Each structure stands twice: as structure tokens, then as C-alpha cells.
Chain A
Amino acid sequence: MILDPILDVFRGRAITIPPLDGAFRANTGLDDAAVFATLPGADDLCRHASGVLASAGRGLFRLRTGAAPEQVETHPAPISAIAASGATLAVALEDGTLIENGAAVARPDGVSCITALAYGPDGALWLTNGSDRHGPADWANDLMERNSAGSVWCRAPGGGWQRVAGGLGWPFGVLPDTKGAVVSESWRHRLVRVGGGRITPVLRHLPGYPARLSSRPGGGAWLTLFAPRNRLIEFVLRENHYRFDMMAKVPRAFWIAPAMSSGQSFLEPLQCGGIRVMGVHKPWAPSRSYGLAVRLDADMAPEISLHSRANGKRHGTCAAIETEDGLLVASRGGGMVLAPNAGEGA
């Protein structure tokens, strides 16, 4: 209505979230997927010359078909991101350390929150720094403080670190190409192209918090979203008094905030739609966590998606990669790596 902008001053702006429609139409692709490996805390995935590697907690694991993951490295701090190019392997730790092929290497000044790593086609190493103010484990604080203090950095082969973009709301995935890189900006629910000193949105109004990106062999990419957008959370993000009170008085696991998994404790917040009625938990109930992997075409337009809905457990999907054997999705909340049949998505 024409009067809405005036009325909004008195009654507050409507809180709307994008619907799960079109390529995002809900299905049970992840809930029905085969478990490729059980790996508590499974976070990031990469293709290495030695096979598919997965990070989980402080360990780096090699995934094997039909066998338990083999632990290949253990680090003093939890791993926050991994990337590989051929036999070159980069590992970032939550304390900010960046390791390349087993040796610590220089990282940009002030960067201590490496959320994603990727090698470009020219061999350049890209990294995203989630926030200047928090480490990777404190992402929820960064969101609740409504920071946009993230940055993207690039190290050309043989060169030094260059800051490509700043002022981003928790960049959580990077996909380098010949023209620069596409970065997922979680707090703003969008993908942006960085490079040439500019930030250009390429995909906006995502229905969740985007996480890591990975290229597909035939062009295009896989994007995962680790949590859904939720009207109550967006409402709390506008309620300053309540939010800061909550951050001060309530343990973080029980905040009204996105989560990697939910429904573990009776102390977690519950929304009306999430009430179990007659033994049924509605799949479309509002939820703090979700599992969602999206296939993007070469123009970064979503094609199909795979879901683990509110009544599922395979939430907190932070990485997906496509290998010769098929698609693998790491679910941090579910503690497993899934091998969904990508053709089943809608």
C-alpha cells in the first residue's frame, strides 16, 4: 500500500523471508541420501590428489568408499577451512594459522578468522576472513552483533597477499575463476562477485545463510546453506535490547540464532510452528537449522536443490563437492558426509 512507508514508522516494517520455491522447492534429497561416511563435526571438503579430504574438528580425514574415514592429520586447533590443488593442500586453523603442504605460511595482517580457502585456476590462493572481530567458532556472535567486518584476500603465485574486498557480512565461501571470485556473504544472504575493487551481487535473497562454494567439473558450482532464514531470528536481529540482553544472559547454544543443529536440548528456543502435535513435527516448521545444497549453473543461477527439512537431522551443511563418484555433502549438525543422488533434486 502507498501508506506503508509512513505506517512502518509506527508499527514496524514487515518481516518477510524468501519462499522455498522455484529451484529451492523443498524435497527430502538430503534426508534420503546415503551416508558416505559418519564423521562428527564434518565441516569442509576438498579434492586432493590423494582422494577426497574432509575436515572435522582438529582432524583431517581421507574419505574412502565403503570404509571408515582415515585420519591423515591432526592439528593443535580445530580446522576452519581446507583447499587443495593437485597435490598442494592448504589448511586453516581456528586460531588463525595457515598451513600449506605441512608448513605454516604467512597470512595477511589482521586475518585470524579464515572461513574458506580455494585455489584459482591460475594457482592463486584465495581466502575469506569471516570477521575482524571474531574467530570462526564465534560466528553466532558476529551475526548477533550485526557486524560486516569480513574480507576476501588473494595471493597470486609467487606474490604477496592482496586484499580484494572488505566490509562483507561473514564471507563463508569462495569460488575463484578467471575474472576474480564469487563469494558467499552469509549475513546478507547473497553471492557477490569480487574483483577490480568492486563488489557486485550475483545472486540475492537466498532462503538461508550461504556457506561454501565449490566448482563443478562441467562448469557451474555447488553452494551449501547451513541454516534457514527464520522470521523470529530476523525479528530478534532488529530488537536491540532483547538481543544484547540475550547475548549477555543466555548461553550461546540456546540463543534465538541460526544453528548447525537444533532440537538437541529442551533449553533451546521453540517456535509455535515447531510444536510436536499428535506425534508429528511439521517439515515446514520454522527452524534454527537446516540442510540445503544448491546446484548453480555457469551464471550462478540456481538449478536444483537438496534439502534436509525441519524434521530432519542432516543440518548445518557447510560444504559440498562433486567428484567423479558423485556429489558429497558435509553435514556438520548431522556429523556425517552424505552421498545424495543429485538427480533426485527438484
Chain B
Amino acid sequence: MSFRERLLAWRYNLVPDHAIGEILSKRWTDNAIPFLALVITVAGFGSAIPGFFKLYSLQESTRQLGELSLVVIGVTVVMLGGGIDLAVGSIFALSAFAAVSVFFIFELPTWLALAAALATGFLFGAINGYLIGFMRLRAFITTLVTLIIGRAGYDILVVNFGSRVQMSMASSDLWDFIGDGTLWGMSVPVLTALILAIVSHVALTRSRPGWHVQAVGGSRRSAHNAGIRVRQTVFLTYVFSGLCSGAAGFLFATRLSGAGPGTGHGLEILALTAAVVGGNSLGGGRGSVAKGLMGAVIVLVMTNGLIRLGYGTGTNQMVLGMLLAVAVTVDIRWLKNRHKVLNEVYVAPVYLKMGEPLSAVPGSGTPYELNNRLSVADHIGLGELEGPEDVILDRDDHLYCGTRHGEIVRFFAPDYTRSEVFAHVGGFPLGLAFDRDQNLISCVGAMGLYKITPEREVIRLSAETRRSLTSIQDDARLRDPNDLDIAPDGKIYFTDSTKRYDAHDWAVDSIENRGTGRLLVYDPADGSTRTLLDGYRYTNGVCMAHDNKSLFFAESWRCRIHRYWLEGPKAGTAECVIKDMPGYTDNINRASDGTYWMAWLGMRTPSFDLSLRHPAMRKRMTRRLPQDDWLFPNINTGGVVKFDENYNIIQTMGDLSGLSHPMVTSMREHKGHLFIGGILNNRIGRFRIEGANPAWDANDAYWGKRS
């Protein structure tokens, strides 16, 4: 191995490149940019302004922050629902005025002042919501109109009644406490904002109305088609926003005990900037309360900081405007390009030097020599079936297979010309096995381990195992359950091929070649699932040895077969028993003569083997070429290999014509015939095996004769 190659091997096998793609595919990465902006803003102004972090100044700032946060939460919810609310400034001012007038002019109790403020907020929110939600007016223009009208109304009221407020002698301890006091070191506005933030976060992410809001914002039409009452949902978001502004207005009124001409002026810009800077999408459907709060802190720190640094209102507005522009640009570019970036960086190949295989070329004289014998197989279900990855027969000789439509299809003995959908599971049913009670157990790609009873009831057995400590993406869920076999005690041993790709992208996993395949066991006694082995390059077929003391499993991308010991001195350990095959190993099943059948899903090619030693080249390939042009292992030619207890290769069969069985993913011996399945094929093959025991039925071999 050259020095360069060794260096490459270290570089690509030790540096966890795959983490970048996994982090990027997390939804919380959306928060990364606003969070960074938050840290920079706070740190920047904190160091530029002496005494920025002093308690009193923080206290004052946080009161303001609490009020702004309330408004921002409201705006965030409206934006999540796909709208925009410009009227918050005037609603805020009118609510403040309502509270002040109730308290000072009519000299009524504080709680009535709160009620008046909330009622004002509700009324204006409802007007907005009615016009936009039910009358289908444009959100921008409508709220602009309510902003202007509300503002004008407020100005008239302040001019006419402002002096009466100032002359009033009304006072209340509660009023003063809300405006000035603290509870556990926190001011009332902050506390209110915090509580509202938590409640609305939970409501948005974990309640039906919250999901409806996000669904409507994501796509109105889809939401409508899904049966969500779109108009009502939109209406409610504006009402919520109005109530938030009302509450904020009340808190403002208690803090200043009055309402002046400038109250709430420019608040809509502030709130909108905060919501967008925090990372809430203007297009709707994407965002969170947390983002809104981050934005509120950024905007407030920035405006207050600028004022304290001695800059005037003009500069302040200018900075806000620019901030908004930057945030909107980043939001749109990120939204547009995130999946492209993810696509480009997700595949993170590793280095592997495969062992030199024995040749499978016809005439090479090795036990792996491929021939054309499978091409004479009779076909079953030609043109009706799509993707029978595994095939199995029951005690009545009926034939079962999965299809890519998520169905288990049953072909009726003896001629297998009639078929029916035995059960619809969903996902992509792959490996199949019958248990002692004639239940059909299946590994369903993208879903988990399922049981189908003879009465066709579909029961989920397992969809997750324990999460590993270092995982970024949740690897508890089973992404690509592939094949299984059942021990006499009922324990189900099965494989989950990869943590990195979904079941339908299984072939792409070969390009990355990262070892993330697992061997798991499901215990029917307590319903638990445990991970036995991890870190194999695409674990695939599983088969109990004839004596049930160990099991075989295939590691596809390394062309190996391993043996995992259940009993004896090596119990709990695995060893590689056949390595460096010329083909990619797939399902393994018992043969009637005490040996084993194994499928090759494809053949190694020298160019692909070489590319495994050039991970950088593979990475560039995935970034620069469309997937159709990627170099793949040759999965257009497969075969069936028979090996014995001592790992000798007894026989190899193939279909070099490529016409009937180009790829073989499974085979099942039953009463002297071999049934052949292929995940990308459109048929099942039936092939008469010379010299096989014509009475042998795997169900008897596993579970004894039918009683």
C-alpha cells in the first residue's frame, strides 16, 4: 500500500465526514444561524457598552423584552400559518389605551383593565382574522389598513383623553406590582412571555391546533385536502396575535402608567424583524417560538445598544431595515439550497481495500464459476409481480413473497398461476420466515419487523432498538430491516442493513460503504429488541444453522459470510467464515442436504473495487454527477451459491443471459424445487434441483412435522 493510499485510508476512515450530512439533516440546524447572530450581538454590545450586564439596566431591558416577546410570539404564530400581521403596533397602542382608560378614567380594578386590553386585542385580531381568513383578503394589505385605521383612532383618542388620564389619581398596588415589581427575580412581563412561550411552543409542536397552523402555513391546499379547516385556522392565528398584542399593551400601560402619542410606534417593524431574524420563514410553515424569542433578543439588544451608544432613531431604523433584508435573504437562500447542500455532502465514502476474489468467470475453473442454469427456471407471476425480494412456502405449498407496493402476495399451489394479496403491510416487505404457529414474520424495509397471522392480521413486533451513544441521527429506529430467521425458542434474529440510507436507497449505501449494518434479536417473551452486533457493511441474509447452535449472516458490501454463535464456547461472538467472494452476498437459507443456499445480489467489478480505494474520487462523483451516472457495483448479474457446514463452495448457478434472473436476492428450497426471488425483478423463478430430497419442507425442518 502506497503512502498516499495509507494517508487516504486514515483520512476517510477516521474523520467522521458523515456527521456533516447528519447534522445538516436535523431540523434544529435551522436555528444555528440565528443563534450565532444572537451570540455575536449580545457579546458585541456587551463588550462595547460598559455596564450592559448590570442588574438594573438588564431589569429595564427585560421588561421591554417581555412585552416585545409577547408581540413576537403572536407574529410568529401568524407567520407560521402563512400570514403576516402588521397591525400589532396599533393593536398594542389601542390595548394600552384601553387599559389606561379603564384604570385611570373609569377608575375600575386592574383585572378589568386587563380584560379591556385583551378584549381590544381580540376585537382587532378577529377583524383581521375575519377579513383574511373568511373573506380571503390579502394579509399584507388588510393588516396595513387595520394598522393605519387603528393608529388614527388611537391618535384621536390620545389627543382627546390623554390629559384626563394624567389628571387621574387612581392607584392600585397590583397595578404598580405588575408595572414595577419582580417575582423570583423576574419582572412580570418576562414571566408572562416565558409562560406564553412555553405554552405556545407545546401547543404548536404537540397539539392538534398547532399542527393545523403549521400545516396550513406549509401548504394551504394540502391542508385543505387533508380535511383541515383552513379558514378557521387562519382566523385563529390573527386572534391569537391580537390577544398577544393586547396583553403586551396592558403590560406597557402598567409599566408607564400612561399612554402617549408615540406608544407602539414602529412596533410592527420591530416585531416583524425579530420574527424573521430569528429564522421564521416568511413563506409560512417553518419556524418556532424559540426562533421568535431569539429574534426578539437580537433586535432589542441591537436597538437599545445603539441608542446607548449614542446613535439616533434614523440609524436605528436603518440598522433594523438592513437586518431584515439580510435575514430575508439568508432565509430564502438557505431554504432554497439546503437540500442541495445536503444532497452534495450526505454521501461520505470510506476507504476499503477488498481482498482479491476467486474468479467467477465461466471457464475459470473455480468453484464460483457462473453458468446459465438459472435462465431455464420457470417463471411465476411474470409481469404481475414487482420486487419479490424474498420468497417462502407454507406447509400447504403456497408461495408467498413481498412486493415493492408493500404487499405480501400469495400464489396458490400447485401451479402458482393464481394469486391474491395475502396482506397489505406497507413499506417494502423483504425477508420472510414462518414461525412455529404458522405466523409469517417479515422484515419490512423502512418500517420494522412485522408478524402476519394466518388470519391476515398485521402486527408490528419491533420498529426500534436502543439508540447508540454516539449517534447523531436517531439510530434507534430500524431503517432497512432486511432478513430474519427464527430460533427454536422463538427468538427472531434479524438484520438492519444500514443506518444511513432508507430502504429504497439501499444500493447507494454501497457507494458510501460505511459499516453501519446491525444484527438484532427480538424476544417475543418480553417484546424487547436488542442490538447484538453493529458496524458491518450492509448486513443482509440470516439463516439458523441446521443444529440451531449458531447462525449465518451475510455482509453484502464486503462479500462475506459471518457465523454468530448462540451456544458453546464462542457464544455471543461472530467470526467471518467465508470472505472475498466474487459476488455480493444476500439471503441465506437451508438446503435439504444439510448445506446452505446463498444468493449473490450482484457481482464485483474491478473498476468498482478500485473505486473503493479512492474514497475522494467517489465523493466527487456523488457531488458532480447525477445519480443515474454514478458507478455502481454490478447488480445486473447475480447467482446462487451453495456452501456446506465447513464453508466449502459446492455449487454456483447464475443467469448470464441476464434475461430472467439478472439479480438474485433470495432462494428457497421446497420439495425438490428452488424458488428464486430478486428485489428488482418482475418474477419468481422455479427451478428443479437434481438430486434434492423431493419431500423436504423447511417448515418441517424448523418446526417438526405437522401435528
Give the contacts of B601-644 with A (CB-CB under 8 A).
603, 605-608, 610-611, 613-614, 617, 620-621, 623-637
Q: Which residue of A lies closest to B607 (CB)?
A: A269
Asked if A232 meets B680 with Cβ closer than 8 Å, knowing A15-B625, A269-B605, the reply is no
A311 to B606, CA, bound (A): 23
Q: Is the CB of A276 within 8 A of B605?
A: no
A156 to B203, CA, bound (A): 90
| Interface check A305, CB cutoff 8 A | no
Q: Is the CB of A270 within 8 A of B627?
A: no
Q: Is the CB of A267 within 8 A of B603?
A: yes
A207 to B656, CA, bound (A): 31
Q: Is the CB of A267 within 8 A of B605?
A: yes
Q: Is the CB of A254 within 8 A of B605?
A: yes
Q: Which size bracket describes the interface of B in this complex?
A: 35 or more
Q: Mark B333-360, 1 if CB is under 8 A from A, else 0.
A: 0000000000010000000000000001
Q: Is the CB of A278 within 8 A of B680?
A: yes
Q: Is the CB of B632 within 8 A of A272?
A: yes
What is the total of A-B residue contacts with beta carbons within 8 Å? 118
| Interface check B370, CB cutoff 8 A | yes
A275 to B620, CA, bound (A): 21
Q: Mark A1-19, 1 if CB is under 8 A from B, else 0.
A: 0000000000110110000
Determine how close the nearest CB of chain B comes to the CB of A257; give it in whole angstroms: 9
Q: Is the CB of A271 within 8 A of B624?
A: no
A256 to B683, CA, bound (A): 31
Determine how close the nearest CB of chain B comes to the CB of A13; give it in whole angstroms: 8
Note all chain A residues with C-beta closer than 8 A to B447.
none
Q: Which residue of A lies closest to B386 (CB)?
A: A278
| Interface check A105, CB cutoff 8 A | no
Note all chain B residues with C-beta closer than 8 A to A230.
629
Q: Which size bracket describes the interface of A in this complex?
A: 35 or more
Q: Is the CB of B630 within 8 A of A275?
A: no
Cβ contact of A276, chosen from B386, B633, B663, cutoff 8 A:
B663
Note all chain B residues with C-beta closer than 8 A to A254.
605-607
Give the contacts of A223-266 with B (CB-CB under 8 A).
230-232, 235, 239, 241-242, 245-246, 249-251, 254-256, 263, 265-266
Q: Is the CB of B636 within 8 A of A275?
A: yes
Cβ contact of B680, chosen from A246, A255, A276, cutoff 8 A:
A276
Judged by DSSP, the binding face of A is loop
Determine how close the nearest CB of chain A comes to the CB of B341; give it in whole angstroms: 11
Note all chain A residues with C-beta closer than 8 A to B627.
272
Q: Is the CB of B606 within 8 A of A232?
A: no
| Interface check B556, CB cutoff 8 A | no
| Interface check B263, CB cutoff 8 A | no
Q: Is the CB of A276 within 8 A of B632?
A: no
A232 to B627, CA, bound (A): 10
Asked if A232 meets B623 with Cβ closer than 8 Å, knowing A268-B605, A275-B632, the reply is no
| Interface check B242, CB cutoff 8 A | no
| Interface check A279, CB cutoff 8 A | yes
A273 to B632, CA, bound (A): 9
Q: Is the CB of B628 within 8 A of A266?
A: no
Asked if A245 meets B610 with Cβ closer than 8 Å, knowing A267-B634, A268-B634, A276-B680, the reply is yes
Asked if A232 meets B605 with Cβ closer than 8 Å, knowing A266-B637, A274-B636, A278-B386, the reply is no
Determine how close the nearest CB of chain B comes to the CB of A310; give it in whole angstroms: 11
Most chain A CB inside 10 Å of its own CB: which residue of B370, B606, B627: B606
Q: Is the CB of A231 within 8 A of B632?
A: no
Q: Is the CB of A273 within 8 A of B628?
A: yes
| Interface check A130, CB cutoff 8 A | no
Note all chain B residues with C-beta closer than 8 A to A270.
605, 608, 631-636
Cβ contact of A266, chosen from B387, B610, B636, cutoff 8 A:
B636
Q: Is the CB of B631 within 8 A of A232?
A: yes
Q: Is the CB of B608 within 8 A of A232?
A: no
Q: Which residue of B lies closest to A267 (CB)?
A: B605
Pairs across A and B, CB under 8 Å, 16 listed = A12-B623, A231-B625, A232-B630, A242-B610, A242-B611, A249-B606, A249-B610, A254-B606, A254-B607, A263-B658, A266-B605, A267-B603, A270-B636, A272-B627, A276-B662, A279-B682
Since A255-B607, A275-B636, A276-B662 are in contact, a sample of 19 more A-B pairs with Cβ atoms closer than 8 Å, ordered by chain A residue number, is A11-B623, A231-B629, A254-B607, A256-B607, A263-B658, A265-B361, A266-B370, A266-B656, A267-B603, A267-B605, A268-B605, A272-B507, A272-B630, A273-B629, A274-B636, A275-B632, A278-B681, A285-B628, A286-B628
Using a CB–CB distance below 8 Å, which chain A residues touch chain B?
11-12, 14-15, 230-232, 235, 239, 241-242, 245-246, 249-251, 254-256, 263, 265-279, 285-286
